[in-house]
Amino acid sequence: MPLQSPALGKALDETLTLHTTLCRREAGAFQQAIRGGDDVVVACTQEKRLFTELAEQTEGATSVIRFVNIRETGGWGEDAGRSSPKIAALLAAAQLPDPEPVPTVTYKSAGRLLVIGLLDEAERVADAVADVLDVTLFATGPGAAGGAQERRYPVLGGKVNALTGWLGAFEFKWLRDNPIDLDLCTRCNACVAACPEQAIGLDYQIDLAACQSHRSCVKVCQVAGAIDFARDPQEESDTFDLVLDLRPAPAMARHALPQGYFHHDVRKAALPLATVLRLRELVGEFEKPKFFLYKQKLCAHSRNETVGCNACVDVCSAEAISSEKSRQQIKVNPNLCVGCGACTTVCPTGALTYAYPRASEQGVKLKTLLATYARAGGKDAALLLHSQERGQALIGQLGRAAQLKCAKGVPARVIPVPLWHTASLGLDVWLSAIAFGASQVAVLITDEEAPQYVQGLKDQMAVAQTILNGLGYTGTHLHLLHATDPESLDFALQSLGQTQQKLPAAAGRFAVAQEKRSTLEMALDHLAEHAPLKPEAIALAAGAPFGSVTVNKDTCTLCLSCVSACPASALQDNPQLPQLRFLEKNCVQCGLCVSTCPEDAITLAPRLLLTPQRKEARVLNETQPYACVRCGKPFGTLKAIEAMLGKLAGHAMFQGAAVERLKMCGDCRVIDIYSSQNESKITDL
């Protein structure tokens, strides 16, 4: 790698010691460094295992050791000679502390495995894992070879009704509807031989559609008594820790499968060895981070059992989020959550936030990368957000191809940023990155993302790009790159340099907050302050998390049901006057006000207002108060009372004195009813 050590040292810290031929020849220098107590960065992941073992064997080692890949990401490739600013940025980010710990989710598995599939295939898998797992089979047919004559594992049969749960807590329900009781069957094969229709397979289940009721099987099974055509179907259920589904169609048809559930169609290909090894490992107690934080008071999902925003429920590919509209909230199952973060990206209010790492920690990382890159003389930095699994593997493959002169490699200005999942960052962090000095933010999509994730990212990028272009920042700042192999990734990365982007004149100094709306406000304020254009408002597409509402004053009665429904306090009342007020900065365009309004008087107007009025409350509608006809105290609005009187004018229950009471305040109404009752009693006497 053509490293420029003096330039790197100047960009990072002049007191740092840089070793440029570490690998194996300077292992002694590594051991000496880790005895010093200062943090040590090993800028190559190739020998991570070696240096980890060395650290464990080095007496007196006290340093925190971090690893970062600068070889495939910058040191190898066509632009390697110009990659020093990027390498400096990657080294600086590697020195940041690890994310703060968060609560964890625990799984406990005793190793009870259910294998669903053809009996011969299921038994073959069971033979490979039975020494460490307690295996039960659910036969969906005999398979080409049929089951083994020796009954080595419990076998269930019938019709699969449902499978729910996760690692250590699966619940399996099935209908036992076959005349042959597999618990009593001895596999003597007498019924198979006796059946004239050949309706009994070597899974010892009867094909009732082929059976002609000769009952020859019953006669030959008298000793075991396993066959009974008069037996009623029975619903059964059992619990398992692990499930291996070998059928063509999985029991759980979702993109992100639960921990502990594996699906593989053995009719297309043999079960991978990796799956077998993974099953063998899943016995014991396991933990994962609880990836999300939920603040119910910010949630725009529902009010008064009326659904407004459903974005997180729709986008979750693990089906971990469900609606609890009766409780005015959503419910996230932490055991099913896979940590993709798509829900936090599409959440307009910030009720759902990504917890590991937090948005604030990601913000520090991006700011460190971009600031170091600029300080080292880098220009037009582009951030490449990619997953830690498939995305990182693709970048490694591209780097090796570039070293062999088969590809151009990662451009010098493209800084790879690994994420747990590419859907975990969205509008707030992307715009912050542009404000911090990134010319472009690209998200690498491989074959591991769910379709709804891709659509969610596209929608968010469209909003962000519309805002940037509306402010006069020309060019394309946000990209969704699709790649499944090094060649397509190489082409996509080279295409990033084909457009010129207008950027803010100064880099933002604000910190990314954990609260999404706070971060958005700071990013928008910075971008607007340095914008080439100063529009009053930017029109946005429906679904954008910014906007206004319009109120039809002719039909609005100022009942203020919209105020109680608004989760963001964008719609407000005035305790002193009958007014409906609106604070546009708070509006997330969830639509709860629209669905709640009994007069259908409210319409959403997505836009980004850029004048000072955005942060000031304005009056959308107001009317005269209605004064009590008895005491003169205002107790409602003139329009609301008149509308009520009009609707009840022909009602038999509201005539005479009753209709007059509708014109009174609550206190006077009670007094009037009590007085009328006393007058009636006096008259009777």
Per-residue pLDDT tens over the stretch 71-125:
999 899 999 999 999 999 999 999 999 999 999 999 999 999 999 999 999 999 9
pLDDT band at 661 (very low <50, low <70, confident <90, very high): confident
Give the pLDDT confidence of 183-194 residue by residue, as tens digits. 888 889 999 999
CA distance 535 to 546: 16
pLDDT of residue 10: 75
Question: Do 94 and 179 belong together in one domain?
Answer: no
Q: 102 to each of 65, 293, 424, 426, 519, how far by Cα in Å? A: 21, 10, 16, 21, 21
pLDDT of residue 640: 79
Question: Do 132 and 187 belong together in one domain?
Answer: yes
Least confident range of 336-345, 498-507, 582-591, 601-610? 498-507
Helices (H), ranges, 238-327:
273-281, 311-315
Residue 596: phi and psi, rounded to 5, are -85, -30
Tally Cβ neighbours within 10 Å of residue 448. 16
The pLDDT mean for the chain works out to 91
Residue 40: beta bridge partners? 65
Place of tokens 């007069």: 599
Question: Do 429 and 572 belong together in one domain?
Answer: no
Tally Cβ neighbours within 10 Å of residue 541. 10
* pLDDT of 7 higher than 80: no
Q: How would you list the strands of the sheet with 618-622, edge to edge?
A: 571-574, 577-582, 618-622
Question: Do 410 and 552 belong together in one domain?
Answer: no
State which of 571, 587, 622 marks the end of a domain: 622
Asked, for residue 538, whether it belongs to a domain, the answer is no
pLDDT of residue 138: 95
Q: What angle do CA 344, 346, 349 make, to 5 degrees?
A: 75
CATH of the domain at 574: 3.30.70.3270
CA distance 222 to 120: 27
pLDDT band at 61 (very low <50, low <70, confident <90, very high): very high
Question: Do 121 and 185 belong together in one domain?
Answer: yes
Question: Do 568 and 676 belong together in one domain?
Answer: no
Give 557-598 as a DSSP string. Answer: ----HHHHH-TTS-EEEETTEEEEEE-GGG-----HHHHH-T
Give the pLDDT confidence of 576-596 residue by residue, as tens digits. 888 999 999 999 999 999 999
* pLDDT of 1 higher than 70: yes
Give the pLDDT confidence of 537-574 residue by residue, as tens digits. 999 999 999 999 999 998 998 889 999 999 999 999 99
Helices (H), ranges, 195-338:
216-220, 273-281, 311-315
Asked, for residue 674, whether it belongs to a domain, the answer is yes
Asked, for residue 1, whether it belongs to a domain, the answer is no
* pLDDT of 685 higher than 70: no
Give the pLDDT confidence of 454-471 residue by residue, as tens digits. 999 999 999 999 999 999
Question: Do 263 and 120 belong together in one domain?
Answer: yes
Residue 269 is encoded by which pair of tokens?
């290909």
Asked, for residue 507, whether it belongs to a domain, the answer is yes
pLDDT band at 498 (very low <50, low <70, confident <90, very high): low
State which of 622, 639, 663 marks the end of a domain: 622
β-strands 634-637, 234-240 pairing: unpaired
CA distance 239 to 136: 11
Residue 385 is encoded by which pair of tokens?
């957000």
pLDDT of residue 327: 84
Question: Do 138 and 281 belong together in one domain?
Answer: yes
Q: Which domain holds residue 608?
A: 547-622
State which of 461, 495, 525 marks the end of a domain: 525
Please return the burial class of 506, using the count of CB atoms within 10 Å of its CB with bins 0-12, 13-18 and 19+: exposed
CA distance 491 to 398: 11
pLDDT of residue 519: 96
Whether the Cβ atoms of residue 473 and residue 532 lie closer than 8 Å to each other: yes
Question: Do 374 and 226 belong together in one domain?
Answer: no
pLDDT of residue 684: 60
pLDDT band at 14 (very low <50, low <70, confident <90, very high): low
Q: Whole-prediction pTM value?
A: 0.87
Give the pLDDT confidence of 369-419 residue by residue, as tens digits. 999 999 999 999 999 999 999 999 999 999 999 999 999 999 999 999 999
Q: What angle do CA 235, 241, 243 make, to 5 degrees?
A: 70
pLDDT of residue 650: 81
pLDDT of residue 680: 63
* pLDDT of 171 higher than 90: yes
Tell me, what amino acid is at 282? Answer: L
Asked, for residue 56, whether it belongs to a domain, the answer is no
